């Protein structure tokens, strides 16, 4: 296994960098680099720019719009996007439901949904978790009963990220009560405009509206919107989760944030000297940087071992744990570095209504710190990932 980049890889990196410099809108870059919140229009705008270039779904098969890049090129692309400060491409459509559609969807479903995911005609959300059914997802209770050509769905989903923007939700429902709880679950695609759906916000620690409760009351979903076989949804759901966890490692973004942390720590002073020169702080920073380098090497090993079309295995759990621990440690050190300057909480500033009025690194950091507590919970909590590692990798 050779972890060095080839000359072709380096030329590819240059091509991506040059294109991003010319095409990433300055207002979006400013918001991302300064930890400001983006709205729906801003996410969609960037999605469409990448789609037009043909780079929005690099991992997809070429026939559906994939780039045909190898795993190393995809990794380089993600790194360069993170370094430049591009908005995230929402995973729910491109990286989560799309792979499921490609593997288990009917030809008709693929032909209808994949192009709409590619150009962001539809914004997707994920309807897995329910009150009392998070880690123990197989205990989910939302029911779907057949009535002619429809399922009638009743129940409640929770923590549904950005459901307030969503046109479509991929949703796990119980179509049968069986002894083995993983059986009898089906995977439905639900149009969020269907009568009977109510989306209610849950405000998080940083006062953000990122997650929601979704209530489903006699929601009629065409049977044609079911993926694969009735009662086999658990298989499709698990396949999707592996894709969710790999993306959460976000090494490129952590490298960018490490640079940001060094910058603010260099500007803050402690006892008349830059914080960066304080032995205790410098040791914490160095230890975090080493962890991040080790994670990057691990990601490269996984990437180089992974065939172009092979889905991620249990190593996705490893990357998820380490990646999120590093992200949280970074936000902790940021908060430590800015100290009391993190106190101001200006909603208008965070929402970017005055994007260039305040050039203050510190203002969004407390909110950013609070927001990042979520990373060890979503995508399956880190404790659950440890259970997966002990069973699937260590064989315990
Ligand atoms: C910001 C955010 C966004 C989210 N977005 C979505 C979304 O878009 N769609 C969606 O469907 N879900 C979403 N989730 C839900 C997320 O997947 C769940 O929160 C997660 O799976 C944990 O479930 P829970 O909250 O019910 O906690 P619980 O399962 O009740 O767990 C509580 C605690 O017990 C621990 N625990 C539970 N079981 C075990 C075990 N067997 N072994 C060891 N420890 C255990 C957990 O690690 C955790 O610390 C989101 C969550 C957050 C925080």
Does the CB atom of residue 377 touch ligand 1 within 6 A? yes
* Structure tokens given for 60: 């997809």
CA dist 152 and 145 (Å) reads 5
Q: Are strands 209-222 and 197-203 parallel, antiparallel or unpaired?
A: antiparallel
Catalytic (active site) residue 351:
no
> Which ligand 1 atom is at minimum distance from the Cα of 135?
29
Domain boundaries, the chain: 7-89, 122-232, 249-392
Instruction: Check residue 225 and give its pLDDT.
Output: 98
Does the CB atom of residue 161 touch ligand 1 within 6 A? yes
Q: pLDDT digit of tens for each residue in the chain (396 aa)?
A: 566 789 999 999 999 999 999 999 999 999 999 888 899 999 999 999 999 999 999 999 999 999 999 888 998 999 999 999 999 999 999 999 999 999 999 999 999 999 999 999 999 999 999 999 999 999 999 999 999 999 999 999 999 999 999 999 999 999 999 889 999 999 999 999 999 999 999 999 888 899 999 999 999 999 999 999 999 999 999 888 766 666 678 999 999 999 999 998 998 888 888 999 999 999 999 999 999 999 998 888 877 776 544 556 788 889 999 999 999 999 999 999 988 777 666 666 666 655 444 446 777 888 889 999 999 999 889 999 999 999 988 887
Instruction: Check residue 215 and give its pLDDT.
Output: 98
Does the CB atom of residue 175 touch ligand 1 within 6 A? no
Which is it for the CA torsion 75, 78, 80, 83, positive or negative?
Answer: negative
**For ligand 1, atom 26: residue with the closest CA:** 134
> Which ligand 1 atom is at minimum distance from the Cα of 137?
21
CA dist 226 and 149 (Å) reads 11
Q: Are strands 143-147 and 197-203 parallel, antiparallel or unpaired?
A: unpaired
**For ligand 1, atom 41: residue with the closest CA:** 384
The C-alpha angle 22, 23, 26, rounded to 5 degrees, equals 95
Superfamily of domain 122-232: Butyryl-CoA Dehydrogenase, subunit A, domain 2 (2.40.110.10)
Catalytic residue among 79, 130, 244, 315: 244
CATH topology (fold) of 249-392: Butyryl-CoA Dehydrogenase, subunit A; domain 3 (1.20.140)
pTM: 0.93
CA of 386 to the centre of ligand 1 (A): 14
CB of 111 within 8 A of CB of 105? no
CA of 245 to the centre of ligand 1 (A): 13
Q: Which residues contact 216 (CB under 8 A, 6 or more apart)?
A: 142, 153, 154, 155, 156, 157, 190, 196, 197
Backbone angles phi, psi at 343, to 5 degrees: -65, -45
DSSP 106-137: -HHHHHHHHHHHHTTSS-EEEE--BTTBSTTG
CA of 206 to the centre of ligand 1 (A): 19
Instruction: Check residue 4 and give its pLDDT.
Output: 79
Interhelix angle for 251-267 vs 315-338, to 10°?
20
Between the alpha carbon of residue 304 and those of residues 137, 242, 268, 387, the distances in Å are 32, 17, 40, 25
> Which ligand 1 atom is at minimum distance from the Cα of 204?
1
User: How many CB atoms neighbour CB 187 within 10 A?
Assistant: 28
Q: Which residues contact 352 (CB under 8 A, 6 or more apart)?
A: 31, 36, 37, 38, 39
Which burial class, exposed, middle or buried, applies to 56 when counting CB atoms under 10 A from its CB (0-12, 13-18, 19+)?
buried
Does the CB atom of residue 380 touch ligand 1 within 6 A? yes
Instruction: Check residue 26 and give its pLDDT.
Output: 96
């Amino acid at each position: 296994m050779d972890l060095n980049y080839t000359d072709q890889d380096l030329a590819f990196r240059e091509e991506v960098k040059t294109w991003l410099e010319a095409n990433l809108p300055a207002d979006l870059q400013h918001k991302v680099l300064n930890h400001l919140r983006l709205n729906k229009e801003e996410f969609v705008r960037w999605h469409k720019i990448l789609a037009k270039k043909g780079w929005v779904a690099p991992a997809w098969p070429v026939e559906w719009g994939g780039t045909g890049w190898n795993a190393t090129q995809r990794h380089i692309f993600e790194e360069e996007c993170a370094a430049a400060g591009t908005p995230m491409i929402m995973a729910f459509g491109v990286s989560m439901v799309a792979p499921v559609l490609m593997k288990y969807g009917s030809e008709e479903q693929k032909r209808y949904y994949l192009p709409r995911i590619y150009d962001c005609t539809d914004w997707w959300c994920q309807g897995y978790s329910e009150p009392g059914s998070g880690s123990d997802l197989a205990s989910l209770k939302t029911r779907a009963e057949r009535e002619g050509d429809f399922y009638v769905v009743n129940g409640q989903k929770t923590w549904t990220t950005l459901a307030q923007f969503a046109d479509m939700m991929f949703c796990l429902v119980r179509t049968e009560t069986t002894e083995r709880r993983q059986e009898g679950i089906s995977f439905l695609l639900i149009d969020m405009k269907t009568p009977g759906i109510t989306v209610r916000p849950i405000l998080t620690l940083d006062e953000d509206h990122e997650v929601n409760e979704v209530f489903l009351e006699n929601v009629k979903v065409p049977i044609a919107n079911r993926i694969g076989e009735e009662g086999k949804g658990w298989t499709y759901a698990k396949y999707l989760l592996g894709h969710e966890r790999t993306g959460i490692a976000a090494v490129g973004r952590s490298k960018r944030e490490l640079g940001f942390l060094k910058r603010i720590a260099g500007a803050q002073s402690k006892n008349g000297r830059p914080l960066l020169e304080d032995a205790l702080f410098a040791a914490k920073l160095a230890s975090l940087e080493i962890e991040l380098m080790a994670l990057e090497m691990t990601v490269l090993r996984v990437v180089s071992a992974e065939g172009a079309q092979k889905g991620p295995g249990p190593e996705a759990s490893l990357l998820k744990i380490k990646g999120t621990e590093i992200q949280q440690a970074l936000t902790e050190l940021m908060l430590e570095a800015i100290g009391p300057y993190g106190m101001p909480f200006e909603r208008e500033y965070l929402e970017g209504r005055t994007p260039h009025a305040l050039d203050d690194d510190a203002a969004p950091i407390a909110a950013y710190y609070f927001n990042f507590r979520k990373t060890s919970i979503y995508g399956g909590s880190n404790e659950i990932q440890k259970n997966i590692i002990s069973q699937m990798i260590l064989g315990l």
